[in-house]
Amino acid sequence: MNISTDFYAHHNKLNRIPPMVKLSWGILTMLFSLLSPSPIIPIIVAVVMSFIIVLIAGIPSRYYLKFISVPFTFGFLTLVLMALFFGVKPSSVGFYWFRVYLDGLHTGFLAFSRIIGGFTCLAFLSLTTPVNEIFKQLEKIKMPRIIIEIALLMYRMIFIFLEEASTMYNAQETRLGYNSIRSSIKSLGLLASNLFIRSWLQGERVYQAMETRCYNGEIPTMKIHETDNKWIILVIAFEITLIIGVYFTRTIKII
């Protein structure tokens, strides 16, 4: 498992835009793409968001395609399954005992377009805004500080865990720990329990170290952001266009 999302979130060309602007852009666009009763708006959203991510934020297109490929595959599988199994109006198209259902195809395609629309918005958020900045914004909607603190500590721990887990996994694998199903379960169990114990101890140590250095529930970081106004206007204009688009395309069907 490789989390380079974090790297790109810190190194992209939209870094200086205030996180609140990016957050509201991503989430509002996602909502309108979900609200749209026609597949047109979600597809437009997917295209616009991909354009912003690759060309404006400067995320390498290869990485972006890899990031988005898993949800796209799931979306496509959903489309196929809905068309084949979830419907009542059979069409003439089919093979063997399978029949493509017209209404299944329709809901499937709508679901597919919403999945790609939603996921490109999610990708925009996660590739341009670091997780700790997103969580800091939650403070503005009255999320208790303690939860944000635990979440951010958790985020830090995930990276420590991944490193330790891969070291242990390699050590076990070179000793034939994953040779059979039986030994795999045993090895994985050993790995998980050891990981739990080790990171538990590490968690305690990290906290003690932070306490002795005047940790009071906040890790202050310096961040330079551009002035808000032009970005806010841009977001509002984009979202209004999107609402109008949702209204006018509401009856259009592609399939």
Site stretch for another protein (CB under 8 A), options 47-55, 112-120, 224-232, 238-246? 112-120
> Which residue, 1 or 214, has its beta carbon nearer to another protein?
1
- The answer to whether residues 111 and 82 touch, using CB atoms and an 8 Å cutoff, is yes
Near another protein in 121-150, by CB under 8 A: 121-123, 125-126, 131, 134, 144, 146-147, 149-150
Provide the minimum distance between the beta carbon of 227 and another protein in the complex, in angstroms, as a whole number.
26
Among 109, 114, 168, 246, binds another protein (CB under 8 A): 114
CA 188 to CA 195: how far, in whole Å?
10
Near another protein in 183-242, by CB under 8 A: 185-186, 188-190, 192-197, 199-200, 202-204, 206-207
Near another protein in 36-95, by CB under 8 A: 42, 67-68, 70-71, 73-75, 77-78, 81-82, 85-88
Site stretch for another protein (CB under 8 A), options 31-39, 54-62, 224-232, 244-252? 31-39
Among 12, 15, 29, 33, binds another protein (CB under 8 A): 33
Q: Is 35 in the site for another protein (CB under 8 A)?
A: yes
CA 41 to CA 230: how far, in whole Å?
25
The residue assigned the tokens 């806010």 is 232
Helix%, strand%, coil% for the chain, nearest 5: 75, 5, 25
Helical axes 40-51 vs 229-248, angle rounded to 10°: 150
The residue assigned the tokens 């509401």 is 250
Could you tell me which residues are beta bridge partners of residue 94?
A: 99
Query: Which residues fall within 8 angstroms of residue 39, CB to CB, at 6 or more apart?
Result: 109, 110, 112, 113, 114, 253, 254, 255
Site stretch for another protein (CB under 8 A), options 117-125, 171-179, 222-230, 240-248? 117-125
- The answer to whether residues 26 and 124 touch, using CB atoms and an 8 Å cutoff, is yes
Here the tokens at position 228 are 């808000």
Among 55, 56, 65, 154, binds another protein (CB under 8 A): 154
Provide the minimum distance between the beta carbon of 65 and another protein in the complex, in angstroms, as a whole number.
12
> Which residue, 169 or 238, has its beta carbon nearer to another protein?
169
